Amino acid sequence: MTKTMIFAHRGANKEAAENTRSAFDKALEYAIDGIETDVQLSRDEVAVLWHDRFLGKVGLPSKHIDDFDHAQLQAMNFAAHYSSGAKPEGIMSLKEFLDAYRKRCRLLIEIKNREWELSYRHEIKIRQTLGMVGAVNDDAVMVSSFNLPSLVYAHQCAPEFPLVYNFETDQTVKDAEQVLAAQPFLHGLCLPIATLDDAMVGLLRGQDKYIAVYTCNSDAEINLALELGVDILISDVPQKALQMRDR
């Protein structure tokens, strides 16, 4: 790596509704290196882009993505929470996202596999995502998750695919040592900026692993990530991160 790459967190989510085509297109108006997004599964098992467990942002605070079929989600306005005047946008499928953006920038796809969902649906998401992306010869498309068993399963399905484990804020360098020793196939770690330090960087660099960091928004956070030379800096304000990097 010659310089830190800047990834837009769910697109340019300060300028358009997160994980929508508008947010991704807005992000690409800047010289970003990549986009980070989130994958969940509709009730009828279509991989779609959405971060939250609940649908409060679209006026359904007690409902989840998997309470609805894909066609129903497409009929909802997933841009309304950002601005009442925004162009209505239904939910975007992973296939639509890959078709539209994989040739335009790098992608980091987080599979939202959490304890609230049955494990067989975790596996469906993994298989669908890997199948849609297909064979990769580099790290232009990477898959991440907070769920380590999901990444182990993904590695079994596609041994050469670049997989990134997302750390929680309470995980330490010691945890990283243990994870990498047990799962050497991991391409790297995606760390909360609060846990980034010289020791963590030294460990990952010593094992030739990728270092991604989320979510760097303040000047101090962006500067720390840049000074420690991470590979990927994920930000809600990618234009600011780009300006600071390129200075």
Domain boundaries, the chain: 5-53+92-246
C-alpha–C-alpha distance, residues 195 and 148, integer Å: 19
pLDDT single digits (tens) 83-142? 878 889 999 999 999 999 999 999 999 999 998 899 999 999 999 999 999 988 789 999
The CATH number assigned to the domain with range 5-53+92-246 reads 3.20.20.190
Q: Is the pLDDT of residue 80 over 90?
A: no
Closest by Cα among 3, 5, 7, 51 to 215: 7
The residue type found at 193 is I
C-alpha–C-alpha distance, residues 158 and 201, integer Å: 27
Residue that is written with structure tokens 């939910």 in the block: 91
| % of the chain with per-residue pLDDT over 90 | 92
The residue type found at 232 is I
pLDDT single digits (tens) 141-165? 999 999 999 999 999 999 999 999 9
User: SS3 for 138?
Assistant: coil
Q: Is the pLDDT of residue 2 over 80?
A: no
pLDDT single digits (tens) 203-229? 999 999 999 999 999 999 999 999 999
Closest by Cα among 9, 38, 19 to 110: 38
pTM equals 0.96
CB atoms within 10 A of CB 181: 9
Q: What is the pLDDT of residue 196?
A: 97
The residue type found at 36 is E
C-alpha–C-alpha distance, residues 230 and 247, integer Å: 16
Q: Return mean pLDDT, the chain.
A: 96
Mean pLDDT over residues 171-179, rounded?
98
Sequence-separated (6 or more) residues with CB below 8 Å from residue 56: none
Torsion sign over Cα 225, 226, 228, 230: positive
